[in-house]
Amino acid sequence: MISRNPQSVKVIYKLCVLSFLLACFFSLHFLATINKLPCEKKCNIILISIDSLGSNYVGTYNENIIESPTPSIDSWAEKSIVFEDYITPSYLTPITEMSLHTSLSPLNSGVVRFDSVLNNKFITLAQVLQSSGYYTVAMGSSPEFFDFSYALRESFSRGFDEYYKEFQVPPIESRTYFRSGRALSNNPLSWIKNPPDDKFFLWLTLGTAHWPYGRYPFSYQQEYNGPLKDENKLDWWDHLRTIYEGNIWSLDELGTTITPLTDEDSRYIKEGYLSNIRATDEFLGKFFKAFKRSVIAENTIVILHSEHGEEMGEHGYYAHYDIYDATIHTPLIIYIPGEKPQRIDSLVNSFDVLPTILDYIQEPPLNQAEGISLRPLIEKSTSSIRNETFSVRVPLWEHAIQTSNGFIQNEESVYQKIQDSLTSFDELDKKDAIFDVAIRTKEWKLIWRKARLQEAQYGWWNLITQRDTIRDLYELYNLKEDPNELRNVYNKEEEVAKELKNKLDIWWEKTQQTRNSEPVIEGTIQPYF
């Protein structure tokens, strides 16, 4: 018979309780830290903003691409978090980018044109990070932020310790060189190899995918002998040349010239655009390689996104001019050290990026923010953060280039028609009549053409084609069955249209109450973008 010593039993009991408590403590500690970043509050932030790259031309987003023009991005995505339904709130570079930097929709930030100034009551991402002890640097090859608009430069440069410091802005006549990427040289690569000792925020802007198309060699250049042979004619703006309704419409000293668009012409344009994308991807490949070899690889969050995509004839024109998905559905790829790669198909927007960054570096959210942190999606504590998102077609191109701000001045008389047609846009701000707006869900998009009458009266298409075309007031598309948005089913899907129209009306009324209107800086824009 085994005797039991009461004192021994007490000691064993206490040891068991202590062991249990210690086990619980370490288990809870493990669970509490399992989702923490290796760098915690000291994470560096790199934001890569690409101009003119739609998700439909990125291999990791489009399985139908036979030969992806983005192998470096695709490889990087395999190690990162890919957001499959990232929708931008506008279709123009600085308008969308300001939404990311402020977590505000364009109408609420007030930055709705190329000469708009951000109201001082709003704070930018760089300002938040700078106040949190980050060394902040901006560099890149997108002239929108550094060169042609003093208003945009003043707004975006807030909070940066270095703003384009390592680059010399080229003269006006060298702008093609400026967009070419050669202006980048090896500066960002050198910077990554020798980062500052303190935590940092690097904003790298890449304008190399933007028109003019065909600035980089591609095989079809040698075979093609059509009317667009001169690669400079692929610059949609500089030559006031538009590709529309199966024709090449151009303005020259003889007036309007119409040339039928052939399959060879279409291929030449598209191949030129793809060559720009390949050049952008090639640079990113070098950047990612330098990053992986650097000392910062394990404590740096890298966010790659595109401000807008490009139309390649889907709606009868080339470049970016509207809020169809070809333009506003773009890549968002986030690398977070310690997080497993994954794909997320929830609907997200540009103004979700800033709240996400603040969440991961354990900074409090901004009161002004309209966006939502993506961290719950990444850590799978929620399956969705919203059911719909909104985009606004602001500004119309014609409104973006008002004659009062220097885009069309002292030109030949042939441009007088264009100048006359644009002058009236100066007054449209007062009527709130220059915006088209859209609501998008996972399956549907409804576009409300609020500016259709003004566009018909003053816009380029009717002026060039000499027609009196007026768009439908509403356009409804089933994105699952009609991803290119070619069949307007507004009159067929009455219930869907009614539900989305009601939501769009509510959003619009709310936006009118919160909309910020800030004076522009007159005469600040150079004639290039």
Compute the distance between CA of residue 5 and CA of residue 304 in angstroms, rounded to an integer: 68
Same domain flag for 363 and 508: no
Structure confidence at residue 456 (pLDDT): 83
Same domain flag for 351 and 496: no
Structure confidence at residue 169 (pLDDT): 45
pTM: 0.87
Structure confidence at residue 279 (pLDDT): 92
300 SS3 class = strand
Tokens 């490009």 — which residue? Answer: 310
State which of 320, 353, 387 marks the end of a domain: 387
Same domain flag for 310 and 339: yes
Compute the distance between CA of residue 402 and CA of residue 400 in angstroms, rounded to an integer: 6
Whether 238 maps to a domain, the answer reads no
Whether 438 maps to a domain, the answer reads yes
pLDDT in tens, 214-272: 878 887 877 888 877 765 556 555 444 566 666 766 655 555 667 778 888 888 889 98
In angstroms, the first-to-last Cα distance of the chain is 95
254 SS3 class = coil
Same domain flag for 381 and 479: no
Same domain flag for 334 and 480: no
Same domain flag for 50 and 121: yes
Compute the distance between CA of residue 70 and CA of residue 125 in angstroms, rounded to an integer: 28
14 SS3 class = helix
Structure confidence at residue 453 (pLDDT): 86
Share of the chain above pLDDT 70, in %: 72
Structure confidence at residue 285 (pLDDT): 95
Beta strands in 159-308 (DSSP E): 162-163, 200-206, 241-244, 247-252, 255-260, 300-306
pLDDT in tens, 302-353: 999 999 999 998 888 888 989 999 999 999 999 999 899 999 999 999 999 9
Q: Which residues of the chain have pLDDT under 70?
A: 1-38, 40-41, 148, 165-186, 230-246, 248-257, 398-433, 460, 463-466, 517-529
Same domain flag for 401 and 371: no
Q: Which residues of 454-487 are buried (b: 16+ CB within 10 A; e: fewer)?
A: bbbebbbbbbbbeeeeebeebbbbbbeeeeebee
Q: Radius of gyration (Cα) for the chain, nearest Å? A: 26
Compute the distance between CA of residue 454 and CA of residue 436 in angstroms, rounded to an integer: 11
Whether 137 maps to a domain, the answer reads yes
State which of 341, 360, 387 marks the end of a domain: 387
Same domain flag for 329 and 449: no
Whether 464 maps to a domain, the answer reads yes
Same domain flag for 374 and 403: no
Q: Which amino acid is at 361?
A: I
Judge contact between 448 and 504, C-beta under 8 A. yes
Structure confidence at residue 79 (pLDDT): 96
Tokens 């031309």 — which residue? Answer: 57
Same domain flag for 289 and 416: no
Whether 24 maps to a domain, the answer reads no
CATH of the domain at 496: 3.30.1120
CATH of the domain at 337: 3.40.720.10
Maximum Cα interatomic distance, the chain, rounded to a whole number of Å:
117
Sign of CA dihedral 116, 122, 127, 129: negative
Expressed as residue numbers, the domain containing 142 is 40-231+262-387
Q: How many domains does the chain have?
A: 2
Q: Which amino acid is at 10?
A: K
In the numeric block, which tokens belong to residue 29? Answer: 């500690």
CA angle centred on 423, ends 418 and 427, rounded to 5°: 145
Whether 502 maps to a domain, the answer reads yes
Cβ contacts of residue 35 below 8 Å, gap of 6+? 379
87 SS3 class = strand
The H or E element spanning position 393 is: strand 389-393
Whether 5 maps to a domain, the answer reads no
